[in-house]
Amino acid sequence: MTQRLPPQPGEWIDRSRTIEFVFEGKTYPAFVGDTVSSALWAMGERVLGRSFKYHRPRGILSHANQDVNVMLEDGTRTNLRGDVLPVEAGMVLKAVNRLGSVERDFYAVLDWLSPFLPVGFYYKTFHRPKALFPFWEGVIRRMAGLGALSPHAPRSETTKRHAYCDVLVVGAGPAGLSAALTASQGGARVILVDENPRIGGTLSYDHGGEKHALDTLRALQARIANEANIRVCVNTTALGYYADHLVPLACPNGLEKVRASKVIIASGAFEQPAVFRNNDLPGVMLGSAAQRLIHRYAVKPCERAVVLAGHDLARRVTLDLIAAGVEIAAYVELRETADCRWAEQRGIPVYRGYCVYEAYGKKSVEGVEVCLWDGQGRADVTRKHRIACDGVVMSVGWAPAAALLYQSGCQMRFDETRQQFLPARLAEGIYAAGRVNGNFGLEAALADGERAARNALGLAIGSDRVDDAGYSHPWPIIDHPRGKNFIDFDEDLQLEDFANAIQESFDNIELLKRFTTVGMGPSQGKHSNMNAIRVLSRIRNQPIAEVGTTTSRPFFHPVPLGLLAGRSFDPERLTPLHAWHLAHEATWVSLGGWQRPAFYGSDRASAIVDEVMAVRTAAGLIDLSTLGKFEIRGPQAGLFLERFYTGHYQNQAIGSTRYAMLLDETGVMVDDGIVARLAEDFYYVTASTSNAAAVYREMTRCQQIWGLDATIINLTGSYGALNLAGPLAPQILAALLSKHRLERLNGAEQLEIAGVVCRLLHVRFVSEIAYEIHAPARAMLALWEAIHSEGAPHGLKPFGIEAQRVLRLEMGHFIIGHDTDGLTHPFEVGLDWALAHDKPDYLGYRSLRILKRKPLKKRLVGFTLTQPPDVLPDECCLVLRDGAIVGRVTSIAHSPTLNRTIGLAYVAAEDAVPGATFVIRHQHGMDILATVVPRPFVGEAR
Amino acid sequence: MTLIKTSEACRFGVKGQAAASWLTAYGLELPDTPNSWCALDAENRVLRLGRSEFMVEGPVSGKLENVWTEGLERLYRVPRYDAGFVLEGAAVSELLSRVCTLDTRPEVMGNRLLFTFVAGVVAILACETSQCYRLWCDAGYGNYMQRTLWEILDSITLREGSAT
Amino acid sequence: MKLLNCPINGLRPLSEFAYGGEVREPPLETSDAQWVDYLFNRNGAPGIKREWWYHVPSGTWFIAERDTGSDQVIKTYLWGEV
């Protein structure tokens, strides 16, 4: 291992466990704990990836998932970030987005063509001739992009769980650790999350050449381990902030949705790159990246480094490099007036008031040119020095990792002294601590974490910003006539791209973002947004505070869709007769959450015909347990029904049934059913399956508002129902009751059948002669089997939904929601008779008075096709008249009983007379002629 | 970790302004707040569903069935068709965290009944101890609920090797 | 996800609720034009609205007073109790 350092205190690698992995066809060694990038860098590999657009060689920039220079695929998973992907034995990895190999990418020719590929180039070039654009689009998509999806990726089961805590601390650096300990000692249940494999944050890499950080970390770790109230989650990313303190966490094997009472954001800050020509060469990296390589992975970042400094913390980076044996070729200090004596005393060549003008090298950095500069972006090229090096370490500034703060409604303001956005006004229950709050020093961060926790516990109020110093250079951006000074490494955006965009009038932050796509790559602006804002501010001559930032949205890091999917719940509701249907070869259909028999047997077409004919010639039995069923009881039960439905119920005879139609305020039909009066103050009401819950909901709301003396009991789940229909139905029923009893049957009554206390209703939906029998769910099977065994020898067959549809169509009945839509009112379907006119008021009444006076544009009619085509028109085929749309087909089927095609359709009101013809536009494009016929279809002499 | 389906248990539902007094007349102790429950003894419990609706579970509901008379004022029978479950064991809280969005710790629940969604289905949840919960849902979802809870339980114990 | 405070069941995630429209009194004795305006037009200006909400698992209807500008719920109560 050429670049591996001797054991570093607190390192994250386990030197006793060596493993091997393959990258781009070559095998490499690694330690358990290495990331792919650290293992490759340790072996001297420098070109770890190719950039998105220009396919430029790339290496390590942040090593903290703040850039995607190193994007890999392993044949199953794609877009893996090498900087944070732990090496596992046997991994086989390739870089994404290159043709050939990462070392020799054929698409690198695009870098030479870059003058023709400015930002937004695809809007300007390649669009003429228009016919060729699809071809160019395909080419462009192949040459620029991320990883490929594998169609063979195995399905992974990830868990999804919910958790609660008093205080959620995001980030386990010094501020977060301090906050967690303070909160826990105050009695709170704490969840502490950190995206890294270990806690510690900056304590695990920003050592500044001393032991203090590591000693502090060890002490904090020991104290955390002793606190039973702190649940530590590493390798866990807080994905975003959602209303009322809901923070989903991406854990290694699933998603955890945490609801916290208070949230402390100690997420730190992202180090920002300097912008100079070829700042993306492998070997040019952020100071924190170099420190992570040294202290966490014992990897020497380079042999000979040029440090580019923009603030005082760069000193700590330099001392860490020196302690790791890196030769400092130059300390280039951007600020002319900074104090660099500490460097001079160590014999480091100091270039004060200089900038790095450009880096050079073929596939990794081989040296830099430094120039005197004016601090405003312009270099004095007459005073240039060439310095050979194999690493450029940039330490020029920071941007707060404030995504969750923004999402929680925090207002940030730009602090000109510190050159950083800081929290100005936090939302209720949200607290910020540490670098994200502008406190960079170790002691300041620890104190800030403690203060935030005390605030969260209600023990103190107020915020202090302890650190007054600023650690961000206001303009770490150097012009170069030949460009290739990158601001956004994900999107290959250079400085001139911004000037061009602004010149084209995309000059406000939202437009600039969308035209240049800055911050829209996988890193979502972590390393680029701040510089983009600086550029915009400079060009528009507006202070940064006025330029503002774009909206921060979840997720904090890209998340695999599989993690979000997890387990979904797909509830399935069974009727009490489910096992019987199963045993009798039912073919199922899922309707409204219920499993219902569509037909019995395996051949759909013949089963439907058999079942329909059974009901027409002998008898049929259908499971209607899914119907809505309600008892309305009490002295004002009848009055309640009269105000709710359109009909009369207070004068309904006991033992009779009446039609029930429900309208909404606008007079539109919502549902229909049957009202049976079983006693003076006892009504039994049915509703359709799909509307059962909604009808009950509306009933209870109306009852609350009206305050009538009526009680509503929902029996939809606790009662089942069946329909016994057909010419032999009375005979079958008589065998179970007695003929004498049958003759004395009312329209609705409670009686005992086969030992089961039931409610029997005469309902003519599928047949002229039919009995709907309702009974407690537990008794349904006995009832059904009794009827079935009595009737089967006479030709009784069970029938399913499909046959029911045909049967009710033959009877001429419409189904609400199928033959009616969200605008259909009763007059359009000829239900004038169901509307009472002498009731004080009922739902929809006021609107009916208006609708009644309006001339009808369309009406629902029954029709038949005299010459049906082989393929029948579909439901919803349009009805045309003189080329205009006047209606549509709502139901259509071949009737086995009549041997004819029948259906229901909306036609122009003028055509709604028996004998009239109308035109249906078939789905295959031709026009079919249909004839209006009176309903019901069955029972007519034709 | 065990999951017992108690669908065959007797349940008796009643509602109305006279419901509370009718039940107390038969010697039943009732929970005093809406949406809470109390155990009468090891086998019987009373659930208060809302302000004036009750469900009695256990052998005593058989007795109530026998003495029930139709037609009493302000007193209505509510037919019950529930699937009931007893979830017992060390993995219960993990199981609940996967099927329910609420905080189900005993100190938070007390003797309250949680009307919520469990595994996507409307359900009632009650806590006896930190390792014993009772669950009720419509019996039409009984098969689905049992299957789903078992599958999740399997994946919990599989991952962790034992039910901890 | 937002939490809503059901007067009977306490704080619950929004997914447990169904929205029931704004609490409005239908005007009596109106002209047709006034009735149609009541039916189809709503006031969308930000402000405090009284809304019907339904807690689905327990079947509880209640009113929420919500500032539609800031999406803050000021209070919730059962119909008839203010």
Reported as a single tens digit per residue, the pLDDT across A171-194 is: 999 999 999 999 999 999 999 999
Residue C35 belongs to some domain of the structure? no
Minimal Cβ distance to C20: which of A665, A666, A701: A701
Give chain B positions within 8 Å (CB) of C57: 115-117, 122-123
DSSP, res A495: H
What CA–CA distance (Å, rounded) separates A644 from A667?
12
Domain count, chain B: 2
What CA–CA distance (Å, rounded) separates A84 from A234?
13
Residue C34 belongs to some domain of the structure? no
List, for residues C21-80, the tens digit of each pLDDT value. Answer: 999 989 988 899 999 999 999 989 999 999 999 999 999 999 999 999 999 999 999 998
Give chain A positions within 8 Å (CB) of B103: 164, 259
For A391, the token pair is 């690493």
Does A710 contact B at CB distance below 8 Å?
no
Q: Return the CATH fold of A273-396.
A: FAD/NAD(P)-binding domain (3.50.50)
What CA–CA distance (Å, rounded) separates A438 from A445?
9
pLDDT score of A942? 31
Mark which of B78, B108, B130 sits at the end of a domain: B78
What is the separation, in whole angstroms, between the first and last Cα of chain A?
Answer: 95
Tell me the residue range of the domain where B24 lies.
9-78
pLDDT < 70 regions, chain A: 1, 122-124, 144-145, 461-467, 940-942
Does C44 contact A at CB distance below 8 Å?
no
CATH class of A578-625+718-808: alpha beta
**Taking residues C1-13, what's their average pLDDT?**
95
CA-based nearest residue to A392, from A426, A350, A359: A359
Considering the domain delimited by A809-933, tell me its CATH architecture: 2-Layer Sandwich (3.30)
pLDDT score of B164? 33
Give chain B positions within 8 Å (CB) of A570: 120
For A178, the token pair is 């301090």
Taking CB atoms within 8 Å and a gap of at least 24, the contacts of B56-64 are B56/B11, B56/B12, B56/B13, B56/B14, B56/B23, B56/B28, B57/B9, B57/B10, B57/B11, B57/B12, B57/B84, B58/B9, B58/B10, B59/B10, B60/B28, B61/B10, B61/B11, B61/B12, B62/B10, B63/B26, B64/B12, B64/B14, B64/B23, B64/B26
Radius of gyration of chain A (CA): 38
* B119 and B95 in a common domain: yes
CA-based nearest residue to A178, from A206, A200, A194, A198: A200
Mark which of B78, B93, B111 sits at the end of a domain: B78
CA-based nearest residue to A317, from A291, A339, A346, A289: A291
pLDDT value at B162 more than 50: no
Residue B68 belongs to some domain of the structure? yes
Residue C41 belongs to some domain of the structure? no
CATH code of the region A159-270+399-456: 3.50.50.60
Residue B1 belongs to some domain of the structure? no
Look at residue A12 and give its three-state secondary structure: coil
Nearest CA in chain A to B52: A711
* CATH 3.30.1360.120 residue spans of chain A: 578-625+718-808, 809-933
Chains in contact with C via at least 3 Cβ–Cβ pairs below 8 Å: A, B
pLDDT score of A603? 94
B79:A719 CB<8 A: yes
B115:C13 CB<8 A: no
Q: Does domain A628-714 have CATH number 3.40.50.300?
A: no
* B52 and B16 in a common domain: yes
Give chain B positions within 8 Å (CB) of A161: 94, 97-98
Residue C9 belongs to some domain of the structure? yes
* B130 and B89 in a common domain: yes
- Domain with residue B150: its CATH number is 3.30.1360.120
Residue B91 belongs to some domain of the structure? yes
pLDDT score of C21? 94
CA-based nearest residue to C17, from A769, A125, B115: B115
Considering the domain delimited by A485-559, tell me its CATH architecture: Orthogonal Bundle (1.10)
Tell me the residue range of the domain where C11 lies.
1-25+47-82
Mark which of B55, B78, B101 sits at the end of a domain: B78
- pTM score above 0.95: no
* B96 and B133 in a common domain: yes
Does A378 contact C at CB distance below 8 Å?
no
pLDDT score of A463? 64
CB C3 within 8 A of CB C14: yes
Tell me, what amino acid is at B107? E
| A to B CB pairs, distance under 8 Å | 73
Q: Return the CATH fold of A14-124.
A: Ubiquitin-like (UB roll) (3.10.20)
Residue B67 belongs to some domain of the structure? yes
- Domain with residue C65: its CATH number is 3.30.2270.10
pLDDT score of B58? 94
pLDDT score of A843? 95
Does A374 contact B at CB distance below 8 Å?
no
Does A717 contact B at CB distance below 8 Å?
yes
